[in-house]
């Protein structure tokens, strides 16, 4: 079972990124759930979402002890860092999180996703860069499969978003610390 917690600021595309994971899991025939935090979490507030991808029917959709944490701001990193299961994975947007985990029982990856997005002229795509790196370190989905699943969820009238999403995914996947 993969239970994944994605957390950051509202407006970073946290919920979108989570939805891409759930969607890819569903299309692969797995049981999936996606539960967002909701409420006064508009742009600038904190936002997070729980995604579970499992072979078995899913009980609680709420992820309190994630196997994978994707953190995209410092408050989220601090809040959830110690909740990650031993042997789990933490992926940080190091552009926005000037800290590293002290834990030695998890694998931690640091990728400056927000800075990379600006440098490549794809502001706002840090979330997909994070997903790219997730694919690299988690082996949950094959890269080509995930790319196709993500692209097929983009409506035809937003066709121009296909290339930027592909580029962001590739940047995240090929990033080496």
**39 near other proteins (CB under 8 A):** yes
Taking the complex as a whole, how short is the minimal distance between the CB of residue 28 and other proteins, in angstroms? 11
Contact residue for other proteins among 6, 32, 113, 168 (CB under 8 A)? 32
5, 6, 8, 19: residue in contact with other proteins (rule CB under 8 A): 19
Is 26 near other proteins (CB under 8 A)? yes
Q: Is the dihedral of CA 167, 168, 172, 177 positive or negative?
A: positive
By beta-carbon proximity to other proteins, the closer residue of 35 and 164 is 35
**Which among 86, 82, 23 has a CA at the least distance from the CA of 49?**
23
Cα–Cα nearest to 140, from 30, 8, 59: 30
The residue count of the chain comes to 177
The nearer residue to other proteins, 26 or 164, going by C-beta atoms, is: 26
Q: 31 or 107, CB closer to other proteins?
A: 31
In sequence order, the 6+-apart residues with CB closer than 8 A to the CB of 101 are 77, 81, 90, 108
Is the four-CA dihedral 59, 63, 68, 71 of positive or negative sign? positive
Residue 4 touches other proteins, criterion: CB under 8 A: no
Among residue numbers 40 through 79, which ones bind other proteins (CB under 8 A)?
Answer: 58-62, 64
Beta strands in 1-149 (DSSP E): 2-9, 31-36, 46-54, 68-71, 89-93, 107-111
- For position 151 contacting other proteins by CB under 8 A, the verdict is no
Residues near other proteins (CB under 8 A): 19, 22-23, 26, 31-36, 38-39, 58-62, 64
């Amino acid at each position: 079972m993969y239970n994944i917690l994605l957390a950051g600021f509202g407006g970073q595309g946290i919920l979108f990124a989570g939805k891409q994971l759930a969607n890819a899991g569903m299309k692969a025939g797995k049981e999936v759930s996606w539960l967002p935090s909701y409420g006064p979490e508009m742009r600038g507030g904190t936002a997070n979402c729980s995604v579970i991808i499992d072979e078995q029917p899913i009980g609680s959709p709420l992820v309190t002890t994630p196997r994978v944490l994707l953190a995209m701001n410092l408050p989220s990193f601090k809040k959830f860092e110690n909740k990650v299961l031993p042997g789990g994975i933490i992926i940080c947007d190091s552009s926005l999180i000037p800290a590293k985990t002290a834990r030695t029982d998890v694998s931690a990856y640091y990728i400056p996703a927000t800075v990379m997005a600006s440098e490549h002229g794809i502001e706002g795509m840090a979330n997909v860069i994070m997903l790219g790196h997730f694919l690299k370190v988690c082996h949950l989905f094959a890269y080509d499969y995930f790319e196709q699943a993500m692209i097929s969820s983009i409506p035809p009238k937003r066709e121009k978003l296909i290339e930027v999403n592909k580029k962001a995914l590739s940047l995240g996947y090929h990033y080496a610390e």
